[in-house]
A and B are shown apart, each in its own frame.
Chain A
Amino acid sequence: MTSRFLALHLPHFATDRIRRAERGLSPDWPLAVWAAQGSRRLLAAVDAAAGAAGLRPGQPLADAQAMLPALLLRQSDLIGEAQALAELALWARRYTPLAAADPPDGLLLDVTGCAHLHGGEAPLLEEAMGRLRHAGIAARGAIAGAAATAGALARARSDNPIAVSGTEAAVAGPLPVGLALRLPPAMLQSLASLGLHQVHALAGLPRGPLARRFGQDLLDRLDAVVGRRPSPIQPALPPPELSAAREMVEPIVTRSGIDAVLDRLLDELCDRLRTAGVGVRQLTLLAWRVDGAVQEVAIGTGQPMREAAHLRRLFATRLERLEPGLGFERMALEARATQPMTAGMQPGLAIGSRTEEADAELALAQLLDRLGQRLRVRRVAPRASHWLDHAVAALDPQTCPPPMPEGWAAPAWPVLRLRRPQPLEVAAALPDAMPALLHWGGRTHRLRRLEGPLRLEAEWWRAQPGQARRDYYRVELDSGLRLWLCRAEGRWTLHGHLP
């Protein structure tokens, strides 16, 4: 299948973005964006009204204000613009999973095999531009067989052309070099001085001398635009492995409406997962708001899953984060990561009597998913380390823990440890002698027994330098309490409780 690309050029994106954010600005007032270049303040972008009054990007700010005293000015925000364009690329994923931002002011969509869903290429182009226009963003578009050609057509022609695949060279030929190839001004001037104004003039020249004079970059751009060189796009998000989507006739606002749509999407997606023989690990619900914003809710599972009821329960708490505003007009469910359902998940297929065990395993995985959404859940990974702080590592609860090293477990260890060791005051008959009294918890306790010390040296290969060695003592108080004390650098601390 030949590739088809839809390019959208947003000629006034910088000012349109400001108008969208500041609703109070009347569309009749001319608006421009300025940026500081060294000590000079220059216009960076102008809207249609300001352009009609003769203002151009690159003009000094003072000149512009003199020409048009009513001009509204805003400082340019390149990061904000890039973010807004990236968000727009996410919005464009409603047409194809392969949508990319084309900075500074364009979008590129790989619509191969997607156009028929919207009634053909012309209606698709019309709908995309219509929605942008409705959202207050001026747009021009084009569809062609190569991404760079489509981009050049959208920028250089105002009639939103659709070019048949294979005719890239012919349609790109008459385009002006500056807009089609997006060349830096200096190179553009020297090309103009040679009389090279259009793409076909450049394409007819011998390649060697052209590359020597203007660099390989020019040839690369030229080849991409005339379709001699493929120009891949970088999608805003990697395409999902499986997805299901639903367009709403009426925007939905209520939670019950969202739940109903999610139910249908989940059923549809789970059917597809079953057909593909895989389970989902990461699932994202995308909701397109009427005003063009796209919201995401993501869940993850510890084991590959394809049970709609379980996934629905995981979404239940997260859906509160969606802000419908004026309503969602489209919702999609995307499986960002899937895994084949392993033999371990369904041993019942192999051996009939083991289904109960498989059910239990699945139930545990689902329980851990649910708990993990709200609480901190972890398994214990024993580590071979004599230094007690390193003996236990936290592990994802869905993984299998490593085996216990020799001597790791001992009845002499404490069963409970303090998150933060508590300093203690002790009293001894002689300095440095064993303590006889212990002051802890606002009371003084007499020591009935004391065992120790168990002297542990810090692990030099892991510890921070200056880590002091520790002496551990097992202590029994006259109240019967059995404690695990530590003495390091002459200070006593309570580290845990003994069984």
Chain B
Amino acid sequence: MRPADSTASAAFDQAAMLAALRARVVRLEGSGRAAAGRLDIPGLPGGGLARAALHEVLAAAPGCGAAFAAVLLGRCGGTVLWIAGAADSLQAWPPGLAGCGLDPADLILVRAERPQDALWAMEEALRCPAVAGAVLVLADNLPLTATRRLQLAAEAGRALGLLLRPGMLTAEPSAALTRWRVAPLPAVESPRWHLELLRAKGGAPDGPWTLAWQAATRQLRIEEAPAAHRATR
């Protein structure tokens, strides 16, 4: 419906017109994202992540990054593609990922010889309507154009897209919706992580939190929230 039609009525309803315009802008900005909605992840600060979008995870250690990605992807409830470059000497180990809640029956491992192949595979996976989640494991920074392409591909599908990069890299600009940093904490049985929200589109940086992964209940738990959050509680 065009806004002009609503203004044709006797009363000039400015609020209604603004709401219609806002809805239209939302549709223009990310049609797929609005339809795909959010993925609820109990225990994650913010309560979840937007589907049909790209999220960046910087990992201070390779293990905690992979485990955190597995926790997020395990909640997707569908086919998950794990795309890794062949140059990487590390390979995903499904029994460990399953311990982090990612069902091996949903998991498809993809190994790309060249970085451009990995990017192509990620783009194809994000566009596919049957893929619930995909992670691209990278050793280098990506140019802004590449992340923009991935973000557009993600909006065309309904998958949760993750970019998993080493945390030592200087944070370059990217088109991803959010950027998280995860670092390992001393843990006895269940893994514990230090999590920060470094960047969020349309939001402010947040954190840090202390998270624990409870394998028995397959849930994340916030052990310690930032001071500002505790004060408002």
Q: Which residues of A contact B (CB under 8 A)?
A: 359-361, 363-364, 367-368, 370-371, 374-380, 382, 388, 391-392, 397, 400-401, 403-404, 408-420, 448-449, 476, 480-483, 496-499
Distance from A478 Cβ to chain B, minimum over Cβ atoms (Å): 10
Given A409-B104, A416-B96, A497-B62, 7 more A-B residue pairs with CB atoms under 8 Å apart are A367-B128, A371-B124, A375-B121, A377-B111, A388-B95, A415-B92, A496-B63
Q: Which of B64, B92, B98, B129 contacts A404 (CB 8 A)?
A: B98
The distance in angstroms between the C-alpha atoms of A371 and B124, with both chains bound, is 8
Distance from B115 Cβ to chain A, minimum over Cβ atoms (Å): 12
Distance from A59 Cβ to chain B, minimum over Cβ atoms (Å): 57
Q: Which of A370, A403, A411, A416 contacts B90 (CB 8 A)?
A: A416
Q: Which residues of B contact A (CB under 8 A)?
A: 60-64, 66-67, 70, 79, 89-100, 103-105, 107-113, 117, 120-121, 124-125, 128-131, 183-187, 189-191, 213, 215
The distance in angstroms between the C-alpha atoms of A261 and B31, with both chains bound, is 38
The distance in angstroms between the C-alpha atoms of A397 and B79, with both chains bound, is 11
The answer to whether B124 and A370 touch across the interface, beta carbons within 8 angstroms, is yes
The distance in angstroms between the C-alpha atoms of A375 and B187, with both chains bound, is 37
The answer to whether A497 and B66 touch across the interface, beta carbons within 8 angstroms, is yes
Quick one: given A380-B94, A397-B108, A498-B191, are A415 and B184 in contact (CB under 8 Å)? no
Q: Which of B104, B110, B184 contacts A376 (CB 8 A)?
A: B110
Quick one: given A370-B124, A411-B215, are A382 and B130 in contact (CB under 8 Å)? no
Quick one: given A367-B124, A412-B99, A499-B63, are A377 and B110 in contact (CB under 8 Å)? yes
Q: Which of A370, A376, A378, A408 contacts B95 (CB 8 A)?
A: A408
The answer to whether B93 and A415 touch across the interface, beta carbons within 8 angstroms, is yes
Residues of B within 8 Å of A414, CB to CB, are 63, 93, 96
The answer to whether B95 and A410 touch across the interface, beta carbons within 8 angstroms, is yes
Residues of B within 8 Å of A382, CB to CB, are 94-95, 98, 104
Residues of B within 8 Å of A400, CB to CB, are 105
A-B contacts, 12 listed (Cβ < 8 Å) = A367-B124, A377-B108, A377-B109, A380-B94, A409-B96, A411-B213, A413-B96, A414-B93, A416-B62, A418-B89, A419-B89, A481-B61
Distance from B135 Cβ to chain A, minimum over Cβ atoms (Å): 12
The answer to whether B186 and A448 touch across the interface, beta carbons within 8 angstroms, is yes
The answer to whether A364 and B131 touch across the interface, beta carbons within 8 angstroms, is yes
Residues of A within 8 Å of B63, CB to CB, are 414-416, 481-483, 496-499
The answer to whether B130 and A375 touch across the interface, beta carbons within 8 angstroms, is no
Distance from B229 Cβ to chain A, minimum over Cβ atoms (Å): 24
Residues of B within 8 Å of A410, CB to CB, are 95-96, 99, 215
Q: Which of A361, A404, A415, A420 contacts B96 (CB 8 A)?
A: A415
Q: Which of A359, A368, A376, A378 contacts B129 (CB 8 A)?
A: A359
Residues of A within 8 Å of B190, CB to CB, are 411
Give the dominant DSSP class at B's interface: mixed
The answer to whether B90 and A497 touch across the interface, beta carbons within 8 angstroms, is yes
Residues of B within 8 Å of A412, CB to CB, are 99, 189
The distance in angstroms between the C-alpha atoms of A483 and B189, with both chains bound, is 14
Distance from A311 Cβ to chain B, minimum over Cβ atoms (Å): 17
The distance in angstroms between the C-alpha atoms of A375 and B119, with both chains bound, is 12
The answer to whether B93 and A496 touch across the interface, beta carbons within 8 angstroms, is yes
Most central of A378, A412, A499 by chain B CB within 10 Å: A499
Closest 5 CB pairs of A and B: A499-B67, A409-B98, A497-B63, A364-B130, A411-B215
**Closest residue to B99 on the A side, CB-wise?**
A411
The answer to whether B60 and A480 touch across the interface, beta carbons within 8 angstroms, is yes
The answer to whether B191 and A411 touch across the interface, beta carbons within 8 angstroms, is yes
Residues of B within 8 Å of A391, CB to CB, are 95
Distance from B3 Cβ to chain A, minimum over Cβ atoms (Å): 32
Q: Which of B66, B90, B104 contacts A499 (CB 8 A)?
A: B66
Quick one: given A359-B129, A392-B94, A482-B61, are A415 and B66 in contact (CB under 8 Å)? yes
Distance from A443 Cβ to chain B, minimum over Cβ atoms (Å): 14
The answer to whether A401 and B104 touch across the interface, beta carbons within 8 angstroms, is yes
The distance in angstroms between the C-alpha atoms of A408 and B62, with both chains bound, is 22
**Closest residue to B111 on the A side, CB-wise?**
A376
The distance in angstroms between the C-alpha atoms of A126 and B62, with both chains bound, is 71
The answer to whether A499 and B64 touch across the interface, beta carbons within 8 angstroms, is yes
Distance from B9 Cβ to chain A, minimum over Cβ atoms (Å): 38
Distance from B171 Cβ to chain A, minimum over Cβ atoms (Å): 19
The distance in angstroms between the C-alpha atoms of A417 and B185, with both chains bound, is 20
Residues of B within 8 Å of A371, CB to CB, are 110, 121, 124-125
The answer to whether A415 and B131 touch across the interface, beta carbons within 8 angstroms, is no
The answer to whether B97 and A415 touch across the interface, beta carbons within 8 angstroms, is yes
Q: Which of B120, B124, B129, B213 contacts A360 (CB 8 A)?
A: B129
Residues of A within 8 Å of B128, CB to CB, are 363-364, 367
The answer to whether B91 and A375 touch across the interface, beta carbons within 8 angstroms, is no
**Closest residue to B86 on the A side, CB-wise?**
A376
